[in-house]
């Protein structure tokens, strides 16, 4: 039976007012030229009978217009994702940019795209540079770590080809960053991974792989009968990995290299909206738009019961569909994102960090492993407290290393 929920008039107004929001669009769905062993999105093709045509021109135009007109923000961000979005082709993105310019209406438009790097050539680089794309490249670390899971459709290693793509981006002066998953194969190698990445990237993101598996298929975190996927990293392993990354970063790279988790944790501590959804007080403002216009509350929850609707006939308002969203749609946005934000691996099972004393991403107990008391946490006296001191010292000048230009930098010894 559906749980009844009472909304006040103020709640209704707040839910339907135009607000700033973001959306991740997948122009070719889960279609990809790689077969990463831990990928949570490849099996989404089954939702579309294993046939995923590219987003057509009419839907592309509808999405771009709706995203701009329905978004109460002076800067409209488009995040192109996949699968592998470059499979949509160069002409697709030329059309997308032209449509953005047509409907911008005085607003600024920003584009980011996440790619595995295999298809990057000089022509792609020209498109990215001429249109100010921020390119995220997926690379897990040194060759042995990267190729352990990131293989192409034929099962061949991809490290060398990804590095060639990164070299082209650098040579063509395209702005890029790196996204690295932290999985069981990279556990205990935080220092090695960071040392490698700092040589090719100024901005780094680390994403823990924590997935549930049932009958060979990745399942939603609320699937009680599923088991931890063998490639998942434990919460302790992820905490220790990030401790090691922090030790390397704080000794020599403060103000020179940027790690998203450290920036976001610091932002949270000084009252700035963090860039990581799991650190925010609430979520639901980052939607996923599939190639056919289906809208989901999060790309980690692309399952039929979390579908909010379809773009055709609707417009974005306040991060949900303007019309036709049932009460359950609102609950799905909140509940789904709550699960994404709060469920972590502890002792071989999924738990809610808010009710398990898990404070991986909170200061002063930042960057420590699961369930361990802050007083006994590994390296808490050096890592967490050093980060706390860093926070206090920088807080007044508003995260100067990243958000505000600053000519002087605080260096903290490890």
Average the pLDDT over 54-71 and give the result.
89
Helices (H), 207-326: 235-252, 260-269
pLDDT at 99 > cutoff 70: yes
Report pLDDT digits (tens) over 349-405: 333 333 323 233 222 223 223 222 222 222 322 333 333 333 332 322 222 223 222
Structure confidence at residue 270 (pLDDT): 79
Structure confidence at residue 275 (pLDDT): 78
> Is the distance from CB of 17 to CB of 322 less than 8 angstroms?
no
Hey, what are 310's tokens? Answer: 């379809």
Query: What one-character-per-residue DSSP string does 140-205 give?
Result: -SSHHHHTTT-BBTTS-B-HHHHHHHHHHHHHTT--EEEEEEE-TTTTT-HHHHHHHHTTT-SEEE
Report pLDDT digits (tens) over 46-57: 888 887 789 999
| Domain range list for the chain | 20-233+276-341
**At 307, is the secondary structure helix, strand, or coil?**
strand
> Is the distance from CB of 162 to CB of 137 less than 8 angstroms?
yes
Average the pLDDT over 73-88 and give the result.
94
Enumerate residues 6+ apart whose C-beta is below 8 A from 390.
Answer: 250, 254, 266, 410, 412
Beta-bridge partner residues of 23: 78, 287
In this prediction, residue 94 has a pLDDT band, given cuts at 50, 70 and 90, of: very high
pLDDT at 209 > cutoff 70: yes
As a CATH number, domain 20-233+276-341 is 3.20.20.70
In this prediction, residue 282 has a pLDDT band, given cuts at 50, 70 and 90, of: low
List phi, psi (to 5°) of 275.
Answer: -90, 0
Structure confidence at residue 334 (pLDDT): 41
Reported pTM? 0.76
Nearest to 133 by CA among 146, 115, 118, 119: 115
Location of structure tokens 């099962």? 155
> Where on the phi/psi map is residue 203: left (φ > 0), alpha (ψ -120 to 50), or beta?
beta
Average the pLDDT over 6-34 and give the result.
69
Structure confidence at residue 284 (pLDDT): 60
Report pLDDT digits (tens) over 288-302: 899 998 888 788 888
In this prediction, residue 202 has a pLDDT band, given cuts at 50, 70 and 90, of: very high
Report pLDDT digits (tens) over 314-346: 545 434 433 333 333 333 334 433 333 333 333
Report pLDDT digits (tens) over 121-158: 999 999 999 999 999 999 999 999 999 999 999 999 99
Average the pLDDT over 59-73 and give the result.
87
The question of whether 299 is a catalytic residue gets the answer: yes
Average the pLDDT over 247-261 and give the result.
92
Structure confidence at residue 305 (pLDDT): 81
Structure confidence at residue 342 (pLDDT): 31
Catalytic residue among 91, 299, 352, 389: 299
> Is the distance from CB of 272 to CB of 394 less than 8 angstroms?
no
Structure confidence at residue 8 (pLDDT): 52
d(CA 253, CA 118): 29
């Amino acid at each position: 039976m559906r749980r009844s929920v009472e909304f006040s008039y103020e709640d209704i107004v707040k839910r339907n007012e135009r607000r700033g929001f973001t959306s991740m669009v997948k122009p070719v769905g889960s279609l990809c030229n790689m077969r990463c062993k831990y990928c949570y999105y490849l099996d989404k093709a089954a939702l579309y009978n294993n046939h995923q045509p590219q987003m057509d021109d009419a839907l592309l135009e509808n999405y771009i217009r709706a995203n701009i007109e329905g978004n109460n923000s002076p800067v409209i961000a488009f995040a192109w994702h996949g699968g592998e979005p470059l499979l949509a082709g160069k002409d697709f993105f030329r059309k997308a940019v032209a449509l953005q310019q047509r409907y911008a209406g005085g607003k600024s438009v920003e584009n980011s795209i996440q790619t595995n790097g295999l298809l990057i050539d000089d022509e792609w680089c020209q498109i990215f540079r001429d249109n100010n794309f921020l390119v995220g490249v997926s690379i897990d670390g040194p060759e042995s770590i990267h190729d352990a899971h990131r293989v192409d459709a034929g099962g061949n290693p991809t490290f060398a080809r990804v590095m060639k793509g990164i070299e082209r981006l650098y040579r063509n002066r395209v702005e890029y960053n790196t996204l690295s998953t932290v999985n069981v194969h990279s556990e205990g190698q935080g220092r090695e991974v960071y040392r490698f990445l700092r040589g090719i990237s100024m901005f780094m993101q680390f994403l823990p792989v924590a997935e549930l598996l049932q009958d060979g298929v990745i399942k939603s975190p609320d699937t009680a009968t599923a088991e931890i996927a063998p490639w998942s990293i434990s919460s302790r392993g992820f905490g220790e990995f990030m401790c090691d990354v922090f030790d390397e970063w704080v000794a020599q790279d403060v103000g020179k290299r940027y790690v998203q988790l450290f920036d976001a944790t610091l932002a949270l501590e000084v009252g700035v909206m963090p860039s990581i959804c799991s650190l925010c007080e609430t979520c639901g403002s980052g939607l996923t738009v599939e190639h056919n216009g289906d809208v989901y509350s999060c790309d980690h929850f692309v399952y039929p019961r979390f579908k909010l609707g379809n773009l055709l006939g609707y417009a974005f308002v306040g991060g949900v569909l303007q019309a036709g969203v049932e009460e359950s749609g609102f609950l799905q946005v909140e509940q789904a994102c709550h699960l994404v934000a709060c469920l972590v691996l502890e002792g071989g099972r999924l738990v809610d960090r808010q009710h398990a004393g898990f404070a991986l991403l909170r200061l002063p107990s930042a960057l420590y492993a699961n369930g361990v008391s802050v007083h006994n946490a590994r390296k808490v006296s050096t890592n967490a407290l050093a980060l706390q001191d860093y926070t206090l010292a920088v807080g007044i000048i508003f995260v100067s290393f990243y958000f505000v230009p600053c000519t002087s930098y605080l260096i903290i010894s490890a």
